[in-house]
């Protein structure tokens, strides 16, 4: 099923939220399964990007302009040869959710626990928020 995920777009339009559509399989009925499938989808995309060759990594004018807004223009090719481990990535995502570093909203309602039952439907709307810890001094 197709699910809309709100993603903050990087670039000169700071704060712009752009919808991205992911294809989730049927049977995603808990937050833990949602995280597992989201990690799987992103890991597959990451692996595809890593397999691109330099010839395939041609940037359009729009790509260059968008990346210039972030301060770095690159082809997105990783040269270090490392691969991502799916189980460690899932474990990390679940730990971040439990610790409150990552917050998930489904149709505007905050999801609280990994065991929480959810009902994903076609065109459901998800929002993932990474919380930032602020540190400072008292004057």
Helices (H), the chain: 31-51, 61-70, 86-99
Gap between the Cα atoms of 32 and 117, Å rounded: 9
- Helix (H), strand (E) at residue 19: strand 17-23
Model pLDDT, residue 28: 93
For 62-117, the pLDDT digits (tens) are 777 777 776 776 665 555 666 778 999 999 999 999 999 999 999 999 999 999 99
Q: What DSSP state is assigned to residue 33?
A: H
């Amino acid at each position: 099923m197709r699910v809309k995920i709100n993603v903050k777009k990087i670039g000169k339009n700071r704060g712009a939220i752009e919808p991205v559509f992911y294809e989730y399989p049927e049977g995603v009925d808990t937050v833990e399964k949602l995280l597992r499938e989201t990690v799987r989808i992103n890991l597959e995309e990451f692996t595809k990007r890593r397999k691109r060759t330099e010839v395939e990594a041609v940037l359009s004018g729009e790509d260059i302009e968008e990346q210039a807004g972030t301060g770095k223009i690159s082809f997105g090719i990783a040269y270090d040869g490392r691969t991502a481990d799916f189980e460690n990535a899932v474990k990390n995502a679940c730990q971040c959710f439990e610790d409150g570093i990552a917050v998930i909203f489904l149709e505007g309602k905050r999801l609280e626990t990994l065991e929480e039952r959810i009902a994903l439907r076609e065109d459901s709307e998800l929002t993932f928020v990474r919380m930032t810890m602020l540190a400072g001094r008292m004057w």
